[in-house]
Amino acid sequence: MRIYIAGKLSDETERTRLEEIDKICQELGFETFLPHRDVGLVRGLHDAERVFQGDIIKGLAHCDVVVVSLEGLHIGSGTAWELGYAYAKNMPVIGIKTDESVDEAIDYLSPILVASTKIATSINELKQALQALKTKLNPTT
């Protein structure tokens, strides 16, 4: 089972957070796709097609699950697009939000995102949700 790690990539802190999620997923035995590791960052408008092809056509389209960082005041337009794609493709999505309660964040997370996404509020909850999903999708392991 392959997991797409989604979230904002604009600064080192955000990328480090995604790398921590990636490490957790790998420790649980999942293959992962981490956009900034596997495709690289966009360096300007000339890079948009390369990043789209790499992130979506070669990455997200070949994953089974999305794990998304929901930290901060917004999720970012690219992340929102990825979550819509995952929903349309009936892919399970697990979010993680540890910086404040989902109830406090609902205005900027959006009720649509909250209603369509399993949201863990700690690393331990994320691990439990991933393990449960792994068992559900592949009961022989």
Q: What is the mean pLDDT of the chain?
A: 94
For the stretch 16-69, pLDDT in tens is 999 999 999 999 999 999 999 999 998 899 999 999 999 999 999 999 999 999
Show the domains of the chain with their CATH numbers.
2-137 (3.40.50.450)
**DSSP strand pairing (31-33 vs 65-69):** unpaired
- CA 110 to mean position of chain CA atoms: 16
